Amino acid sequence: MTPSSSKSSSSTPAKAPAVGDRAGNLVSLTEGLERAPHRSLLRALGLSDSEMKGPFIGVVSSWSELVPGHLHLRTLTEAVKAGIRSAGGVPFEFPAIGVCDGLAMNHPGMKYSLASRELIADSVEAMVVGHALQAVVLVPNCDKIVPAMLMAAARLNVPAIVLSGGPMLAGHYGGKAVDLSTVFEAVGAVQAGRMAESELPGLEAAACPGCGSCSGMFTANSMNCLTEAIGMALPGNGTIPAVSAARVRLAKETGAAVVALWKRGLRPRDIINETSVRNALAVDMALGCSTNTVLHLLAITSEAGVPMDLSWVEAVGRRTPQLCLLRPAGQVHIEDLDQAGGVHEVLARLHKAGLVDGSAVTVTGKTLAENLEARGRLGQADSGFAAGGSAPGFNGAGVEVVRPLDRPYSVTGGLAILRGNLAPGGGVVKAGAVRPEMLRHKGPARVFETEEQSMQAIMAGQVQPGDVVVIRYEGPKGGPGMREMLSPTAALAGMGLDDRVALLTDGRFSGATRGAAIGHIVPEAAVGGPIGLIEDGDMIAIDIPAGRLDLEVDQAELAKRRQAWKPRPPATNSPSLRRYARLVGPASSGATLEVGESS
């Protein structure tokens, strides 16, 4: 069965048609004489005659017993399926893999994290097209899984909604709110003698109190918030806690909503377009999200045929103030943002200031402006909806979480793009989590070829105040896999050096990182980028307000070093990672796989 009408794709031309049926039509698995064998197999699943009429809707879950952010997803998928059935649809659940970045951190397992993003997108494509599903609800929660499923949605272009698992609550230890980042930083604090090792067991037990994506504005929650902002999830998706009954209700509403999307023929490429992406970037800047959002938005827009590049990030960042200071930059968590009105409150304030476009269509079937009006926030700066009965912008304890536009934390956004002779293709820094004294810094390079080497030196006290730590050959090709490096940044913060030491890498930093940590440097060392030419003691100049990152070595010397430079093979024996290294593109284009043009 197909919907009565089908809208065309977004007005922005896509690079390629949606996969599956090349005409962009939904395929019926049950209609016609030639589908008798298909109907026979479906009856083996127990489908009734009424269920044969569809629509057949996939429910993709990344549930596993390995990932705290995914442990509860079975509860949510059951609620999604109930919502689908209530609206007349027929749900079919199937799984997706998911690597926990926290568990993969600081060992070779992290090489698989970013690479898994492409595997997830491919597997969702295979299941949806292989079984001619007519719509899909995507239920992820953690760092690479959320963008992977958005990539699949844009690629497939069948009606789709994302439902995240929701954030973990913060833990409490010693009278303070704590999280996973606190534990990572405690490692450095113990090593530096700033914390007793006997305190670690209590902190470990308290920091992650239950299921959900880690509780700060780290990568997972950043992407969950941006999924709501871009219009691919229902309001509340970004911030309702994982353990809340409201999350289950949202799951049921999502199931019903996807059937409505199917009936309207509203598809991801009608929603993900230049307008909605710029809206998401504005929310990104206002929230102070993870640097990884840049990487993932570039990949998602590539699938949707939207011509985003780093200049979009620069332009939106210049005009959008940072209104929130969540962990790791501040001391409040996602549950506090939820109490303060969530992504909805941030969107309302940006909309009133003309910093987001209310005409963007969302999965509610309404525009962003209509969604805001329905929640009582259109054109209102200081009153309206807030979760838990709190005043808009404040959490339940009366702490201000979302500032007004006339009193932001910064007049520019939480992320910045840096360029210069050290990063001709750009680098990314979470400017909102950098201490003021480190916004401009010049110091001697301490060069390491791997994350492990840098961590050994940091823990041995070999990195000194003023140094610029350079970790290279950790890019998409060189790693391979562009590892996140929370351990070295957290160790420095725990040692009290995040206000005196900068870090540069062609790899990535976790969303839980704070300090002058500049990642995604392009070109990477593995392809002969300038970062591969740095030597110990070279002076490196960082000017975040000016967007500059420069190596102060004369051109003649650099030319000499370049002539002596030799490529090195990927540091892995894994066939899958070697294949990934051959195909992956630069971070400045989202580290997507370069598959070439079809004839």
Instruction: State both tokens at 517.
Output: 């940590």
SS3 568: coil
Q: How far apart are CA 590 and CA 300, in angstroms?
A: 8
Do 341 and 387 form a contact (C-beta atoms < 8 A)? Answer: yes
Instruction: State both tokens at 584.
Output: 């992956």
Q: How far apart are CA 344 and CA 340, in angstroms?
A: 9
Please name the helix (run of DSSP H) or strand (run of DSSP E) that holds residue 428, with its range, or none. Answer: strand 423-429
Our answer to whether residue 40 is catalytic in this structure is no
Cis bond upstream, residue 328 (ω within 30)? yes
Catalytic residue among 9, 116, 213, 510: 510
Question: Backbone phi, then psi, for 445, in 5-degree steps?
Answer: -75, 140
Question: Backbone phi, then psi, for 491, in 5-degree steps?
Answer: -60, -45
SS3 23: coil
Do 170 and 179 form a contact (C-beta atoms < 8 A)? Answer: yes
Q: How far apart are CA 590 and CA 294, in angstroms?
A: 7
Strand 502-505 to 517-522 pairing: parallel
Half-sphere exposure in the Cβ direction for 200 (13 Å, CA) = 16
543: which DSSP letter? E
Instruction: State both tokens at 453.
Output: 């080497």
SS3 341: coil
Please name the helix (run of DSSP H) or strand (run of DSSP E) that holds residue 93, with its range, or none. Answer: strand 90-95
Q: How far apart are CA 486 and CA 484, in angstroms?
A: 6
In 10 A of CB 540, how many CB atoms?
23
SS3 575: helix
CA 165 to chain centre: 14
Please name the helix (run of DSSP H) or strand (run of DSSP E) that holds residue 263, with its range, or none. Answer: helix 245-264
Nearest 5°: the CA angle 51, 28, 161 is: 75
Do 289 and 511 form a contact (C-beta atoms < 8 A)? Answer: yes
Catalytic residues: 510
